[in-house]
Amino acid sequence: MKTNKEYQSRFPWFSASLGIIAVISVATLFVSGQLNAGRGDFGRLVTDVFERFTSAQAADQTLQLVTLESVGERDGLVVSGFPAYASTTLPLVQDQTAEAVRLVLTGEQDVSERSTIALRLTVNGRRIMERVLAPGRREFTWVFDLTEDVVDAPDAHIALQLLGDLPADLCHNDRSMGAVIALAPDSGLEIDLARPLTSLRDALALMPRDVRIAMADGPEWFEMAARLGARLNRDGYRIEMIDIASAPEAALDASRGLILLAPPETLTRTGFAAMRERAEAGASLWQRGAGSYVALTDPERFETIRFLTSELLSIARTDQINPVVFDAAGRRADLVPVSEFGVDTTIQNVAEGREWRMDYTLAEMPDGLLPSAVYLDLRLPEGPDGFTNLAHVELNGELIDSRRLQSGESNVFSAALPAQRQALSNRLAVVLQRHRDEGGCEITQRRYPVQLSEESGLVVADGAGAAGFTALPRAFSGGVIVRIPELIGPAERLVAARITAETIAHFVPQDASIAFETAATENGESGPVDRPFIAINNAPANAAAPLRIIADRLVVDSATPGGRADVRALSNLTVLQGVAASVPDPRDPGRTVAVPGLMVHAIDEAPAIGAAALARQRVAIVHANGEVIFPDPGPVPALPASLESGRR
Q: Tell me, letter by letter, the H, E, C secondary structure of 268-286.
A: HHHCCEECCCCCCCCEEEE
Q: State the DSSP code for 369.
A: P
Fold of the 200-321 domain: Rossmann fold (3.40.50)
Tell me the Cα Rg of the chain.
29
So what's the pLDDT on residue 584? 87
Kindly indicate the confidence band of residue 37, based on its pLDDT and cuts at 50, 70 and 90.
very low
Kindly indicate the confidence band of residue 648, based on its pLDDT and cuts at 50, 70 and 90.
very low
Give counts: helices (H), strands (E), the chain: 11, 42
**Domain locations along the chain:** 59-193, 200-321, 335-437+444-459, 468-629
So what's the pLDDT on residue 211? 97
3-state secondary structure of 624: strand
Q: Is the pLDDT of residue 65 over 90?
A: yes
Q: Is the pLDDT of residue 32 over 50?
A: no
Distance CA 271, CA 290 (A): 13
Kindly indicate the confidence band of residue 637, based on its pLDDT and cuts at 50, 70 and 90.
very low
Query: Which has more pLDDT, 402 or 408?
Result: 402
Distance CA 560, CA 544 (A): 12
Query: Which has more pLDDT, 612 or 442?
Result: 612
Q: Is the pLDDT of residue 424 over 60?
A: yes
Distance CA 127, CA 25 (A): 22
502-536 confidence digits (pLDDT tens): 999 999 998 899 999 999 999 889 999 999 999 99
- Between the alpha carbon of residue 596 and those of residues 212, 472, 637, the distances in Å are 32, 8, 12
Q: Is the pLDDT of residue 576 over 90?
A: yes
So what's the pLDDT on residue 15? 60
So what's the pLDDT on residue 28? 53
So what's the pLDDT on residue 4? 45
Residue range 628-640: mean pLDDT, rounded = 65
589 CB neighbour count, 10 Å cutoff? 8
So what's the pLDDT on residue 220? 95
75-131 confidence digits (pLDDT tens): 999 988 666 788 899 999 999 999 999 999 999 999 888 778 889 999 998 999 998
- Between the alpha carbon of residue 526 and those of residues 107, 512, 536, 550, 618, the distances in Å are 54, 24, 11, 12, 21
Contact between 533 and 479 under an 8 Å Cβ cutoff? The reply is no
DSSP secondary structure, 151-166, as one string: TT-SEEEEEEEEEEE-
- 59 φ, ψ (degrees, to nearest 5): -65, -25
User: Whole-number mean pLDDT of the chain?
Assistant: 84
- 499 φ, ψ (degrees, to nearest 5): -65, -35
Kindly indicate the confidence band of residue 26, based on its pLDDT and cuts at 50, 70 and 90.
low
Query: Which has more pLDDT, 31 or 390?
Result: 390
Distance CA 609, CA 602 (A): 10
Q: Is the pLDDT of residue 331 over 70?
A: no
Q: State the DSSP code for 252.
A: T
Distance CA 160, CA 121 (A): 5
Same fold flag, 59-193 and 200-321? no
% of residues, the chain, pLDDT over 90: 56
**CATH of the structural domain 335-437+444-459, one choice from 1.20.58.1910, 2.60.120.10, 2.60.120.260, 1.20.1250.20:** 2.60.120.260
Kindly indicate the confidence band of residue 2, based on its pLDDT and cuts at 50, 70 and 90.
very low
Burial 246-282 (b: 16+ CB within 10 A, else e): ebeebbeeeebbbbbbbbbebbeebebebbeeebbeb
Query: pTM for the whole thing?
Result: 0.84
Burial 284-301 (b: 16+ CB within 10 A, else e): bbbbbebbbbbbbbbbeb
138-172 confidence digits (pLDDT tens): 999 999 999 999 998 999 999 998 887 655 555 54
So what's the pLDDT on residue 330? 55
Sort 571 into a burial class: Cβ within 10 Å, 0-12 / 13-18 / 19+.
exposed
Kindly indicate the confidence band of residue 16, based on its pLDDT and cuts at 50, 70 and 90.
low
Q: Is the pLDDT of residue 223 over 80?
A: yes
Residue range 378-398: mean pLDDT, rounded = 87
Residue range 556-574: mean pLDDT, rounded = 77
Q: Is the pLDDT of residue 599 over 50?
A: yes
Distance CA 500, CA 227 (A): 9
So what's the pLDDT on residue 39? 41
Contact between 433 and 448 under an 8 Å Cβ cutoff? The reply is no
Rounded to the nearest 5 degrees, what angle is found at the Cα of 581, between the Cα atoms of 580 and 584? 135
Kindly indicate the confidence band of residue 175, based on its pLDDT and cuts at 50, 70 and 90.
low
**CATH of the structural domain 59-193, one choice from 2.60.120.640, 1.10.40.50, 2.60.120.260, 2.40.128.20:** 2.60.120.260
The candidate with the shortest Cα–Cα distance to 38, out of 136, 145, 165, 122, is: 136
Residue range 299-322: mean pLDDT, rounded = 89
So what's the pLDDT on residue 382? 83
So what's the pLDDT on residue 564? 77
Distance CA 595, CA 34 (A): 66
Residue range 545-574: mean pLDDT, rounded = 81
Least confident of 212-226, 244-258, 271-285, 512-526: 271-285
Query: Which has more pLDDT, 224 or 171?
Result: 224
